[in-house]
Amino acid sequence: MKGLLIVISAPSGTGKTTLVNMLMKSHPDMAFSVSCTTRKPRPGEINGKDYYFISLEEFEKKIEKNELLEWAEVYGNFYGTPKDRVIKALNEGKDILLDIDTQGALQVKKNYPDAVLIFILPPSLAELERRLKSRGTEDEETVEKRLLIARRELKFATRYDYIIINDKINEAYKKLESIVTAERWKTRRVREHFPELIKDREMLQLLNCK
Measure Cα distances from 47 to 34, 35, 50, 69, 121 in Å.
10, 10, 6, 20, 31
Interaction between residue 191 and a second copy (CB under 8 A) = yes
SS (H, E, C) 100-141: CCHHHHHHHHHHCCCCEEEEEECCCHHHHHHHHHHHCCCCHH
What are the φ and ψ backbone dihedral angles of 165, each rounded to 5 degrees? Answer: -95, 120
Interaction between residue 149 and a second copy (CB under 8 A) = no
Smaller CB distance to a second copy: residue 46 or 125?
125
Neighbouring-strand partners of residue 21: none
Interaction between residue 157 and a second copy (CB under 8 A) = yes
| Stretch binding a second copy (CB under 8 A), from 35-43, 57-65, 134-142, 199-207 | 199-207
**Please, what is the minimum distance in Å from the beta carbon of residue 194 to a second copy?**
9
Residues numbered 117 to 146 that lie near a second copy (CB under 8 A) are 119, 121-126
Interaction between residue 181 and a second copy (CB under 8 A) = yes
How many residues touch a second copy under the rule CB under 8 A: the total is: 45
